[in-house]
Structures are given as C-alpha cells and as structure tokens.
Amino acid sequence: MIDLSALKDKIPDSVYSELPETVTRFNLDFPLRLAHFMAQIAHESMNFSRKEENLMYSADRLLVVFPKYFNQESVKYYALQPENIANHIYSNRMGNGNESSGDGWKYRGRGYIQLTGKDNYSAFDQFVPESIIDNPELVAIKYPLLSAGWFWNSKNLNEIADDNNIDLITRRINGGFNGLEDRKVKFVKFYELLKNDRNNCIPS
C-alpha cells in the first residue's frame, strides 16, 4: 500500500480518510497515478470545497459557458435558475430524458469529479450497496471520492497517467482543456509529495 501520510495535512481530513479505500479499489497505488488523480479532482472540486455543480449562471455567463444551448432571446428564461438550466443543458443526452423529465437537475454534477448524467449514475449505482438512481444526492453526501475513483477507472485513466499525459487525462475528464495550467500545477505539488514513496514505480 502506498504511504499516504505525506498527504495528511495537505488535503481535508474527510478526503484523507476516504483515500485508502479509493486507492485500493481503483489501483491508484502508485505515485504517478495518484498524483494525476489528486490533481484532477482537486481542480474539479475547487480544492475539495465543492461536491455539487454550481449552476447559478447569469444571462451573460450562460452565453459564454453554454453558447450551444442559449441565444440572446432564450437565455432570459433561464438566467439565475439553476434547476431550469440543468434540465435544459442536460436534456436528451447522457441517458437523461427531455427537459420536462427533470433528469438534468436530478443527475447534475456531483462528487469531486462531477459525476453527471443518468447513464453515469446508473453505472455507479451498480458499484455501491445503495440506490444511487433513487438517491442521487448520495454521490455528494457519501461518495464524493469513491465516485471520482469510479469515473477515473471507467475512463481507463490509470493507463494514461502511467504515460504521464496530463493533457489527455484533462480532455477525457473535461471534454477540453479548461483549467489545464492549474491541473499541471496541482500535479507537480502532489507528485512532489508522493514520488519518494517506496512504491515509486509504474506497474508492469
């Protein structure tokens, strides 16, 4: 088991206490893998301060962040209405129903890596003993780190981490390269803490 003690005072106690299980279950027991994982989830969660997607967007921000889904006319009906925004932008994709189904809001981004969409919630549901489909809030309340580990594993990101390809990891998680520089800074920080562990090797 990788020595996690170097992280103890660098991350919240709640994250540290959940880390051994996540590391073991998703084979993150190598400094390079774990450093990439920690960097990505730290960025996505604003340094572990956010477990749920913030969808409180003004009209101007909606047009910048989601130009595909809004125009100058439609945006006025959604601005500063998080539930309506989620139901609109996440409708008819990722396994969600149409806008009126409410699936967009029900299965909005939660956890440290922002698990999103009914398909992802359904798949993660098979991994834990409780019903995530019926109780999606558990992703944020009980499984913020485990859900991040599950998502990481589902995208086969350990293999990419072994190649030290932070650009590709970011694209797999983010769909683009948003916040790439911050992710790189965080990776260096975590790797410096972990790299001297006796398990500092890439698995064969």
Q: Is residue 130 part of a domain?
A: no
Higher pLDDT, 186 or 174: 186
Q: Is residue 115 part of a domain?
A: no
Q: Number of folded domains in the chain? A: 2
If asked whether residues 151 and 175 sit together in one domain, one would say yes
Instruction: Using a pLDDT cut of 90, give the percent of the chain over it.
Output: 92
Residues 6 or more apart whose CB falls under 8 angstroms from that of 13 comprise none
Q: Is residue 76 part of a domain?
A: yes
Q: Is residue 32 part of a domain?
A: yes
If asked whether residues 145 and 190 sit together in one domain, one would say yes
Q: Is residue 117 part of a domain?
A: no
Q: Is residue 99 part of a domain?
A: yes
Task: For the beta carbon of residue 81, count every other beta carbon within 10 angstroms.
Answer: 14
Q: Is 20 left (phi over 0), alpha (psi -120 to 50) or beta?
A: alpha
Q: Is residue 13 part of a domain?
A: yes
pTM score: 0.91
Q: Domain containing 86: what range?
A: 59-108
Instruction: Using a pLDDT cut of 70, give the percent of the chain over it.
Output: 96
In angstroms, how far is CA 69 from the centroid of its own chain?
Answer: 22
How confident is residue 196, by pLDDT bands cut at 50, 70 and 90?
Answer: confident
Which tokens belong to 4? 């996690």
If asked whether residues 169 and 70 sit together in one domain, one would say no
Please write the tens of the pLDDT for every residue from 175-193: 899 999 999 999 999 999 9
If asked whether residues 34 and 63 sit together in one domain, one would say no
Does residue 20 contact residue 145 with C-beta atoms inside 8 Å? Answer: no
Q: What is the mean pLDDT of the segment spanning 4-19?
A: 96
If asked whether residues 151 and 185 sit together in one domain, one would say yes
Task: For the beta carbon of residue 84, count every other beta carbon within 10 angstroms.
Answer: 16
Residue written as token pair 């996540």: 22
Q: Is residue 114 part of a domain?
A: no
User: Whole-number mean pLDDT of the chain?
Assistant: 94
**What is the per-residue pLDDT for 44?**
96
If asked whether residues 104 and 147 sit together in one domain, one would say no
Q: Is the pLDDT of residue 70 over 50?
A: yes
